[in-house]
Amino acid sequence: MVRSSYSDVFAISHERETDEHIEAGDLVRTGANSFPHYRVIAVFGDKVWVRDMQYGSDGITALNLCRKINGPHIVETA
């Protein structure tokens, strides 16, 4: 399932100054949104397979939409 977003519909650019290295196992969020959090399952080219940490649903999205989650504010649910 590919979720449509405002970024997709309105072709918003998410280019950033720093290049983050995102790989399988990383926790990420999309765009400027704080939630939901996703676990990266796999990265292939410019696409990322992610799993929603709260609901367990999988999706595929563009790598440039993902932002690593760092710091003590991470709350991982079982």
Strand partners, 62: 47
Residue 10 three-state SS:
helix
| Domain definitions of the chain by residue range | 6-68
What pTM value is reported for the model?
A: 0.67
Model confidence pLDDT, tens digit, residues 13-63? 655 556 678 999 999 988 666 788 999 999 999 999 999 999 999 999 988
**What strands lie across the sheet with 47-52, from one edge to the other?**
58-62, 47-52, 38-44, 27-30, 66-68
Say how far apart CA 75 and CA 7 lie, in whole Å.
26
Task: Determine the CATH number of domain 6-68.
Answer: 2.30.30.140
